[in-house]
Chain A
């Protein structure tokens, strides 16, 4: 047992000390946080305050557009062609052209010409303002009072509740299932990434021929398990570091962005209240504001059972990894070089790919029947069970979670047993093109 620790220690330390590991660990969350921050930032930011020249062919109707927080309107009675000619030398950042036919009956679209793209938020804000004017035009035309309009104006989203057998009801948010999906996806990538590392390690030892020296000191099984467990610890280390770093980066990024953009949010929120007829864009803003408000008990962060999710994540991550890592090790032992692995990798990657496809279907419908079976089968359950759990399991479904977990444990014991039989023959077999028939002989006769 001492010896397997030595092997675990070596496998762990040589990988953790590698530059690539340190870079990946630091860059991974930076990249992810950076991507999130960038998307958020780009969605909100403009290069600077926008100074928009309005070419209104329907003047004076659109003269009442109000300026926004970071944009101002100037009006001109120029023709569009003249405005365009002047545009490059002018101090305007954009031209908003409202064509003549926008009279509320025949509607065309306004055009915005810009030098630097205004943010989506700015554009949506301008759209809303124009919509408002057109709506007022229509109301005047058809003799509808604004108060009447506000009375009939409707905007709804369906709230979905899961109604369990014992009569409890629980609201299901699609974001909840998303948490499960992302967890499954992470496990999917971890299995692939670290499984491949196990395989590479085995091939390295085999082609180096150092394996023959080592297995005079330890049993092949100890060497294989030491490698698998050592790399599992590398994966866990990286995962934990990522969580810590991610949390730090994201909260720093959020604070910075939120401070910069607080006034924008406040303005949007006020618009929301003033203009109940606002659509799409603003609602999304509302949702975003909501998502950041962690004091709201309905908020995603407070609705998830995080200890359960994290516990199960680690269980399925380790279980799935152990199950596949053993198979990756067996493949590594059976070949002479990495170029030969292709034929043996297909049966390993196929169930993972199927699991991924089912995961996408389950995003739409967590109770998908294929998802039910696949969340029990150990080859796919590490990726899929978390999606079901995150959507909320009824107490009458708990047995399925138990079965899935037990099967996964049995599954990795099974694949490890199988892999060990292939491994101890394979690592000493050189210069032979191994077939599936050959592998079967190893399992049966050795």
Chain B
């Protein structure tokens, strides 16, 4: 079994609207999986189903190959987008309580908490009430509570919101470290640059349907538009004439006199080699690289396409 989590044709309807329509995803064990989609697409509903907060109307969810059951609760750690702690409860007491609810023993919870509090250098907060902490401090506590029981599957919904850049890096490093140690991470976010930085696999949900999935590389390859960036020295007119019918110029920037960076789109059956052989006699090529679409572009493109076809 290579996938830690699989959902098969999950359907969830609420009075009046469909939240999930036949959604199937596969999360490989040990991966960092990006669960993407615009607001209201159905991500949170899917996460709640995985967490056994709600039940699907139909379809199955398998964790480690087994249908969801009570004992799975302790294998999952969930950081919801809307963070929340008991404001009037002391930090230490609260962490112990939430850890024990996840099935940890008091002793185990105590020693692991000590480790994390020392690591984040926050031992002084132990006897403070949550309402005395700043938002960022409370977020840190919540992160510790989420990962304390060392879940096999960690579901993080916008984990970096509310953190300053220093703490974002701290949390990012922890996520990467845990992933290296074998934890699978489902990462739900709107921040596409962090998806590109962290995720290996993604699934994109829009209007309650999964519209895209696969490894980040495959998805990018699927969306690439045969665009290349060419840097050369020589005249732009010469270059354009040399492209001939095999390719069209999209944009150009003159770095200095007779030194350009251009973006071209290669059409039809032509290859970059064909283009190169056409232009090399006329200008001096100093660089060529394929332009891959960013996740941000892919997100906007995929979402607007499905939204458009839905509305049509």
Contacts and interface: CB of A to CB of B under 8 A. Distances in A.
Contacts of A208: 84-87
Given A6-B100, A14-B89, A213 B73 contact: no
Contacts of A445: 15
Contacts of A210: 84-86
A270 interface: no
A445 B14 CA distance: 9
Contacts of B88: 14
B48 A217 contact: no
A217 B84 contact: no
A212 B84 contact: yes
A216 B73 contact: yes
A441 interface: yes
A209 interface: yes
Contacts of A213: 78, 80, 84, 98, 142, 145
Interface in B149-196: none
Contact of A3 (B52, B83, B87, B101): B101
Contacts, number: 57
Interface string A205-242: 10011111111111000000000000000000000000
Q: Contact residue range for chain B?
A: 20 to 34
A428 interface: yes
B85 to A, nearest CB: 6
B125 interface: no
A162 interface: no
B24 interface: no
A10 interface: yes
A398 to B, nearest CB: 44
B207 to A, nearest CB: 20
Interface in B21-63: 48, 51-54
B121 interface: no
Given A216-B76, A217-B101, A209 B84 contact: yes
A214 B82 contact: no
Interface residues of A, number: 21
B102 A217 contact: yes
Contacts of A3: 101, 103
Contacts of B54: 428
Contacts of A14: 88-89
Given A6-B101, A214-B98, A209 B82 contact: yes
Contact of B83 (A6, A7, A209, A441): A209
Interface string A48-62: 000000000000000
A220 to B, nearest CB: 8
Nearest to A7: B101
Looking at B82, B86, B101, the one whose CB has the most chain A CB atoms below 10 A away is B101
B84 A211 contact: yes
Give chain A's interface secondary structure class.
helix
A441 B15 contact: yes
Interface in B60-86: 73-74, 76, 78, 80, 82-86
B116 interface: no
A217 B98 contact: yes
B241 to A, nearest CB: 61
Interface string A141-178: 00000000000000000000000000000000000000
A214 B89 CA distance: 15
A428 B55 CA distance: 13
A65 B70 CA distance: 88
Interface centre among A6, A210, A216, A217, by most B CB within 10 Å? A216
Contacts of B228: none
Given A10-B97, A441-B15, A445-B15, A215 B85 contact: no
A18 to B, nearest CB: 9
A435 to B, nearest CB: 12
Contacts of B98: 213-214, 217
A208 B53 CA distance: 17
Contacts of A428: 48, 53-54
Contact of A214 (B15, B74, B101, B103): B101
Contacts of A217: 73-74, 98, 101-103
Nearest to B101: A217
A208 B86 CA distance: 7
B43 to A, nearest CB: 14
A365 to B, nearest CB: 48
Interface string A195-206: 000000000110
B57 to A, nearest CB: 10
Contact of A212 (B15, B80, B145): B80
A260 B289 CA distance: 106
Contacts of A211: 84
Interface in B290-311: none
Contact of A216 (B15, B53, B83, B142): B53
A6 B97 contact: yes
Contacts of B53: 212, 215-216, 428
Contacts of B97: 6, 10
Nearest to A18: B88
A419 B44 CA distance: 24
Interface in A297-332: none
Contacts of A10: 97
A251 B76 CA distance: 58
A218 B97 CA distance: 12
Contacts of B73: 216-218
A139 to B, nearest CB: 76
Contacts of A214: 98, 101
A186 to B, nearest CB: 28
B78 A216 contact: yes
A363 B165 CA distance: 70
19 contacts: A6-B97, A6-B100, A10-B97, A14-B88, A205-B86, A208-B84, A208-B85, A210-B86, A211-B84, A212-B84, A213-B145, A215-B53, A216-B76, A217-B73, A217-B98, A217-B103, A218-B73, A218-B101, A428-B54
Sorted nearest first, the 8 A-B pairs with minimum C-beta distance are A209-B84, A210-B84, A217-B101, A209-B82, A208-B84, A216-B51, A212-B80, A216-B78
Interface of A: 3, 6-7, 10, 14, 204-205, 208-218, 428, 441, 445
Given A209-B80, A217-B103, A428-B53, 13 more contacts: A6-B97, A7-B101, A209-B83, A210-B86, A213-B78, A213-B145, A214-B98, A216-B51, A216-B53, A216-B73, A216-B78, A217-B98, A217-B102
Interface of B: 15, 48, 51-54, 73-74, 76, 78, 80, 82-89, 97-98, 100-103, 142, 145
